[in-house]
Structure 1
């Protein structure tokens, strides 16, 4: 008959297996931690690279937009300067004839008449509007 193992040997074996299990757990935990750290590092690097690419493309897009805006502004400035040159040349060629300005008394009287007419018709207005209307009426009548 085979011998029965003693209690101490079974305890030793149990301890050894427990130690082996905890050692394995510790090793797997350490491996998991290092794997996590490695993946985090890789992820950080990938994020940094992506950020650099986007900033590079964003800055190139911004510079491209600025360049386009500058070109458009230059073209517009050239057109404006050409238009000014054309209008100044036509203005120089045709002498300006000014119509005689109505006197203050004429404008005052016409503005008063405008006021009377406006009040009779019940139209809303003010003295400044009556004055401007009188000036335009007199200037149109003079030309």
Structure 2
């Protein structure tokens, strides 16, 4: 009787553990990094790999500030889009506002099977800047 009870407790424990793991799911981790936005709108790229589970990449601008002090210069926005390695644009261009909630950068139809690509950033001013961004390739 004791053996049966021990087996039953073990089986229920494993079943409970499996249920907890299944309920929480597996999520891709967001990445935060500071990037340099070069002057004259020169692009900064980050190579990303999508899981193909979603049709978009989640991107957010946490903060943006000038690399040098420019009197009267207010940095609040940056731009982003997706591009393939052969320079094919994979999404429209989005303007990210500093401190705003994440933006869903939609991958164009016909390119949803592309796993690896560049996440492109440019400044919203001809002056250089630093930006703290967060992205999740999904």
TM-score normalised by the chain length of structure 1: 0.25
Q: Which structure would you say has the larger RCO, counting Cα contacts within 8 Å and 6 or more residues apart?
A: 2
TM-score between the two structures when normalised by the length of structure 2: 0.25
Structure with a larger share of its residues in helix: 1
Instruction: Give the structure with the higher percent strand.
Output: 2
